[in-house]
Amino acid sequence: AQSVTQPDIHITVSEGASLELRCNYSYGATPYLFWYVQSPGQGLQLLLKYFSGDTLVQGIKGFEAEFKRSQSSFNLRKPSVHWSDAAEYFCAVGTTGGFKTIFGAGTRLFVKA
């Protein structure tokens, strides 16, 4: 069965600093990989996704993520964080059979001035 690990429960970065959120997955085949963001009291918004092709994917709000098969990782990055990026970030994996999507535990991002 597939699983997702986000090793960092929370991360604090200064505004303007770079960000990397870690995600490791377990799945027997090539997975579909997603990053979602959830702001307080809001629903989930898709930042980006990967399922084939270029292993570096660009998303909304200046985010990008890189798929590394050898490390079973799909880390999310942003070169310069804005205060409005403070939110909960969820990595998720979907099966190539497309039957379900499993979410990681999430990483809470705090942005300090």
* Chain positions contacting another protein, by CB under 8 A: 32, 34, 43-44, 46, 49, 51, 90, 92, 94, 98-106
- For residues 110 and 98, the answer to whether their CB atoms sit within 8 Å is no
Closest among 66, 70, 96, 107 to 2, alpha carbons compared: 96
Q: Which is nearer to another protein, 43 or 113 (CB)?
A: 43
Shortest distance, CB of residue 22 to another protein, whole angstroms?
A: 15
Q: Which is nearer to another protein, 93 or 111 (CB)?
A: 93
The per-type count for the chain, helices as H runs and strands as E runs, is 0, 12
Q: Which is nearer to another protein, 75 or 101 (CB)?
A: 101
Shortest distance, CB of residue 6 to another protein, whole angstroms?
A: 8
Using DSSP's 3-state secondary structure scheme, residue 2 falls into coil
Q: And the tokens for 109?
A: 């991002």
